[in-house]
């Protein structure tokens, strides 16, 4: 985010470091209760990846078994990439790495924020080209509403009541150097 934008945006912290730790632990417990430890966690670039790693650590500590973790780049399946994109500014591609075949596995897609649902639609299409899982579930740290597609999360860290133009910022130590969730509201002009 640019300094210019930061100065115009008032940030309110909705989840601090300790609360985020508790939230991730609770999400891991919900996953365990629902599907046991026979599953694969698949983080979506960028912040879904450290979240998937954290969930895997929590699951590993609880069960003593290592849970496989993959990472998914959905760029080639996005609905705003390709001939519809207005300029030669295609997103940079990242690696998709799945530790094992996804056939006949329970897959948990992991992402930081669930908003329109378009990212998850692309992730589902990506997974379908890699195999045929028994089930695909969705775990997100924040559900902020405003879906544009019929998609719902199975495990939600925190549901936030937001307006469409509010900015939800999830920051994770592995990517951003700190843990926490903030909501940014556009400050009134001149106010």
Partner 1 sequence: MVVESATALARKDVVGISQLDAGEIQLILDTAEELLDVAKRPIKKVPTLRGSTVVNLFMEPSTRTRFSFEVAEKRLSADTLNFSASGSSVSKGETLFDTAQNLMAMAPDFIVIRHPNSGAPHRLAQEVPASIINAGDGINEHPTQALLDAFTMRQHFGSLEGLKVVVAGDIRHSRVARSNAFLLDKMGAEVRFVAPASLLPLEVEELGVSTFLRLEPALEDADVVMMLRIQLERQKRVNFPSMREYFDFFALTPERLKLAADRAVVLHPGPMNRGVEIDSLVADGSQSLILEQVTNGVAVRMAILYLLAGGPSEAASDS
Q: Binding residues for partner 1, per CB under 8 A?
A: 73, 76-77, 81-90, 92-96, 125, 129-131
Shortest Å, Cβ 42 to partner 1: 15
> How far is Cα 108 from Cα 13, in angstroms, rounded to an integer?
27
Residue written as token pair 């694969």 = 40
CB 21 → partner 1: shortest distance, Å? 33
Q: How far is the CB of 149 from partner 1 (least distance, A)?
A: 16
Neighbours of 53 (CB within 10 A): 17
C-beta separation of 182 from 14 below 8 A: yes
Closer residue to partner 1 (CB): 77 or 115 = 77
**In the complex with partner 1, which residue's Cβ is closer, 96 or 162?**
96
Beta-strand pair 180-186/167-171: antiparallel
What is the nearest approach in angstroms of partner 1 to the Cβ of residue 22? 36
In sequence order, which residues have a C-beta less than 8 Å from that of residue 185 and are 6 or more positions away?
9, 10, 12, 166, 167
Question: Which one, 17 or 80, has the nearer CB to partner 1?
Answer: 80
Nearest to 30 by CA among 145, 156, 143, 136: 156
Closest CA to 157 of 44, 54, 45, 42: 54
Give the nearer residue to partner 1 in terms of CB position, either 66 or 80.
80
64 or 83: CB nearest partner 1: 83
Q: Could you tell me the two tokens for 88?
A: 């030669």
Q: Tell me the closest approach of the beta carbon of residue 162 to partner 1, in angstroms.
A: 29
């Amino acid at each position: 985010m640019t300094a210019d934008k930061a100065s115009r945006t008032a940030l309110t912290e909705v989840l601090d470091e300790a609360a985020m730790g508790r939230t991730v632990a609770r999400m891991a417990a919900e996953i365990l209760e629902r599907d046991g430890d026979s599953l694969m966690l698949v983080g979506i670039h960028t912040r879904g990846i450290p979240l998937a790693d954290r969930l895997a650590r929590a699951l590993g500590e609880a069960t003593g078994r290592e849970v496989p973790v993959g990472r998914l780049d959905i760029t080639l399946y996005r609905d705003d990439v390709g001939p519809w994109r207005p300029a030669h500014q295609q997103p940079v591609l990242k690696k998709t790495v799945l530790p094992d075949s996804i056939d006949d596995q329970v897959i948990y897609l992991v992402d930081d924020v669930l908003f329109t649902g378009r990212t998850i639609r692309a992730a589902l299409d990506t997974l379908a080209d890699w195999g045929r899982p028994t089930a695909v579930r969705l775990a997100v740290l924040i559900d902020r509403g405003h879906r544009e597609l019929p998609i719902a999360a199975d495990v939600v860290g925190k549901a936030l009541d937001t307006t469409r133009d509010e900015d939800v910022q999830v920051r994770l130590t592995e990517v951003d150097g700190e843990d926490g969730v903030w909501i940014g509201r556009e400050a009134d002009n001149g106010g």
